[in-house]
Structure 1
């Protein structure tokens, strides 16, 4: 919220930050189907902007209230534009992956910083290992894989986001490196050859 406010109001963003916070807390959240303040307190924020709605005495509209209305409206519009942009970007990248029992998939690695996993570390470490065969569909987005014995310590059920479908190609040669995992799932690096 701070970054968005600083970008949208370059010169005087610090003066408009309370308005940004107010607009965000009072804006309708699609996920919970109400504003954050209504979810927390059971009613809208009681300000001169909302006194008409809760039946209290109407205050004489001052310059501050008019300015607040203007900024809150502007900020709500900009928040909606930003939310719509993020949603369209996420929707463009989203794809439904339908897998069947017997299909072969690659398994995505979750790298740990500074830890050697599956024989590689750093920029050149593989993002996916495998391919492995799907044994069973556990739910709408979970699959059980046949893992080799050296990966027996890993749980064999994975979310679909961790999988990539393998399209068979005879020219693919994938050598599986033997991996000795420690109890904490780290890998001890062994030199292949001493050159000098």
Structure 2
């Protein structure tokens, strides 16, 4: 839309604001307009050419309706490429209770259990851990070792199914008294 008229976006900002405030938001279970004013928004009726008596008003409303149609077209076509791009690397994973999995702790990898010169070559996965329960649609509770100070519930993207035998670090990174990861093992 902005590539067709890069200098013409500002007059249409009010339409974008109206669209945002009159669109249903799942987080608040209503539209922002209805949440603020307590009544539903008025529906936008398409403009009928020639209804105002003043020519400049008629031209302005025709131009606004043409831009609204163009915005509507771009909003319908835009998400498709992004959706496929986003879903390319996504994989559907599901586990059963009592399955064995490896746990990916990449954010905690900077302070690994081992002293190595190159941290990026250290292990990403810890485990094998037993799945105790399924929590929601995409989270699982693991049976972690006693004394581990990490919450036992993890998103499915952090888990990898255990297949066969693969030696991996079985202990989790140490955590200090403040709840932060220790830079060196104690």
TM range (shorter): 0.5 to 0.7
For the aligned residue pairs, the C-alpha RMSD in angstroms reads 4.0
1:153 to 146, 149, 154: 149
1:85 counterpart = 2:53 = no
1:66 counterpart = 2:98 = no
Q: Tell me how far apart the structure 1 counterparts of residues 80 and 18 of structure 2 sit (CA, whole Å).
A: 17
Q: Tell me how far apart the structure 2 counterparts of residues 179 and 74 of structure 1 sit (CA, whole Å).
A: 54
Deviation at 1:164, TM superposition (A): 2.2
Report the CA distance shift for 1:70/1:10 in structure 2 as closer, same or farther (over 3 A).
closer
Q: Tell me how far apart the structure 2 counterparts of residues 154 and 133 of structure 1 sit (CA, whole Å).
A: 15
2:125 to 112, 123, 128: 128
Per-residue CA distance 1:136-192 (angstroms, 9 max, x = gap)? 334443322121235x21122223233222222x4x3223467432122311226xx
Q: How many residues align?
A: 174
Q: Tell me how far apart the structure 1 counterparts of residues 19 and 94 of structure 2 sit (CA, whole Å).
A: 37
| Residues 113 and 184 in structure 2, CA contact (< 8 A), matched pair in contact too | no
Question: Where does the alignment leave 5 or more consecutive residues of structure 2 unmatched?
Answer: none
Deviation at 1:87, TM superposition (A): 3.4
| Residues 108 and 127 in structure 1, CA contact (< 8 A), matched pair in contact too | yes
Per-residue CA distance 1:14-71 (angstroms, 9 max, x = gap)? 435515624642675585897654565434368xx6498xxxxx64451111111111
